[in-house]
Structure 1
Amino acid sequence: MFELSARAQDFVSRTQAFISDVIEPVETQFWQDVHALNQGGDWTHWQWPAQLESLKDQAKQAGLWNIFLPDAKLGQGLSVQEYAHVAELSGRSLIAPVVFNCNAPDSGNMELLWRYGTEQQKQQWLMPLLEGKIRSVFCMTEPDVASSDATNMQATAIIEGDEIVLNGRKWWSSGLGDPNAKIIIFMAHTPDPTKDRHHQHSMVLVPIDTQGVKIERMLPVFGDYDAPHGHGEVSFNQVRVPISNFIGGAGQGFEIAQGRLGPGRIHHCMRCIGAAEKSLELMIDRGMSRKAFGKEILKLGGNLERVAEARVAIDQARLLTLYAAYKMDTLGNLAALTEISAIKVVAPSVLEKVVDMAMQIHGGAGLSQDTPLTGFFAQARALRLADGPDEVHKGMIAKLELAKRGYTQNRH
């Protein structure tokens, strides 16, 4: 079921070699440079080290660019399951997804424009994103409502003549601090009494320099601003854009969101598995290279059992994620709803568990920025909220299981 074609295996091999030979030797210094260039929350001066463009150029020349996109002309034409193996490898590095132009939220935004955008929207925004010339932002979560229920959304996108008028406040908008961020995808309520509750929301393209768009602040995650990418709070006050800036038309926001989130969850989950593999390797190497009480640390207490538990958990998560990808490729997103929800619960939790073990074995070093472990841990904990909280995904799984037995879930 999961056997790769020769072409897909070639991508996996070349990605593995590129990460090992090009990225890993410079990554520690790269992140030191990032932290030196971007101190504190003053996002107006954030910047990437110049080395990033060199790494991206090398990735382009190696044919490892836009690998996520299934379009054979604009991307590399890999299926969801085939790309999943590449995504796992890129998850071993905190910078590899950016180097390959396969990073969130851009990959999801690019796939959204590829699937639902007009030709004008593709030429104006998709092509520069695919070329790596600009970055993008996705604005959905709001500070004043429980955003786990997207129908709570208070931001509005109201049609007035040939314009859309946008008002509202969003936060945890990833990529908002990036100096190359040029376009926002804004999801908002477009009231229409003739439509059901899931056809009253829209996605709108908003250039970041449009009048009325104001970046209020950047939000730290565990005390780190994730500069120069950033996760920000942004307000929209009487922002006006042409009606042609609707993606897929008014009221299509939820339908488009499901199309965007399905493949994106596979990407996130496989990156989590790659990060978990890297964490386990670091855990073993650290635990076998240091001694306490006359033994290697890994041989003390229940540490060997923890290694075994990590291996079992990682492999289980990988198989479940690949199965979800297989169902998406062969039967479509709707047929894989249970599996997509399941992997969103499982993969970040597995990463969180394995990283926690690795941090414990590293002692104080595990809490520092000398290893990627703290970055992996923040990634894992954030992902348990970022694409919807665990509870929402578990609720979906339970609802689908009840439906198999002919029961419906009553709403109160």
Structure 2
Amino acid sequence: MGTSGIQNLPVELLADIATFTESPELCAFRLTCRAMYQSSLHHFAQTFVHTLKTDLSPKSLARVQEAANDETFRPCVHKLEIVRNSKGCLGPLSPDITSKGTYIQAWRDVMKRLVNCQSFEMRNSTYTTPKIGDDGITLDEATGLILEAIATEHIPMGSFSIDIIKYRSRDHHDNLTQFGITTFGIPAFSNLKELSLAVPDAESGTIDWMAKMIQCAKSLRKLTIIFSFNCESTSLLSQLSSVGCLPELEELTFSRMSFYSSAALTIFLYSIQDSLRRVTFSFVQLEFGGWRSILRELAGGVYQLDSVNLHRVLEVDKFLSFRRIPGYQIAENAVDKRIYRPFPLRAEDVSFSCSGPALQQVLQKAADLAEVRLG
């Protein structure tokens, strides 16, 4: 390029130009010359390094370590997202006992250096049944090691999400070194603003651990709990229904849960009435008439809700239909894909959403016109 080329513009101007480029153009922009590469580095880091995605294999750990050791990239990392690797597991099924200390220390060092990382998401973590005599979900040890690293370094987590699936391979299941999730320290969750738990069952040990974790998070504003379909969860609500347990909770999502009586859900909702603004229920089962009772309660004037979403909720084992309430159907793209499962039913019949200043009147209408779908 000649002396009048773009690379001769002031560095500050090149950096400003970079902020107006989309991802592909930004990468091409940075390859044109050294001046553009250097001037766009900060914007590149903010754009591409905000979230680090990794599995727990040694190779992936090394890449995370590189970002944690880089003066430019380190402060730009705000979220760590851990997923299964291409082999379908989260890294070594059972790290060699002699290297376990080195392995967890490496993750602890990474956690300490990622000073602005306060959001952690663990997707498709592996699960197996507990050992005889134990309660609660048991994870693969590789997952457990990073949980220990978070807890022992007292990371001030603002957001935590874990999505646990049942182990599908019998061979891996037999050889899995187990880590009891209920041993994970509760104080690590005390600073949470957002918490999402997708777990495959409602074992008593897991329920108690979840309750203690949620109770500890006094500043929690967004809570999502997804069980496998039809898990009995009344005991969890009873532990969370004390006044002042969740004083700042604004957004609540329950999915694939079952309650013996709508009374337990009513008591819980009433305990968080002052702060609650948005609720979503998907595949949640109550007794006959239970959902219509809940809708009347929410319409009673005590709550200050902004929105209510009911997605394929059930009374006993039948879907509740909202076909007589035109104009309030929930859009499929507004539903978290983790809580959505397709059924051979028209979405507008079994999903209901409302928001706005007339919400209480609409909820009362829904309570009057909703009906159990037969067949």
What is the TM-score when the length of structure 2 is the normalising length?
Answer: 0.23
Structure-1-length-normalised TM-score: 0.22
Which structure carries more relative contact order (alpha carbon 8 Å, separation 6+)?
1
Greater strand fraction, Structure 1 or Structure 2: 2
Q: Which has the larger radius of gyration?
A: 2
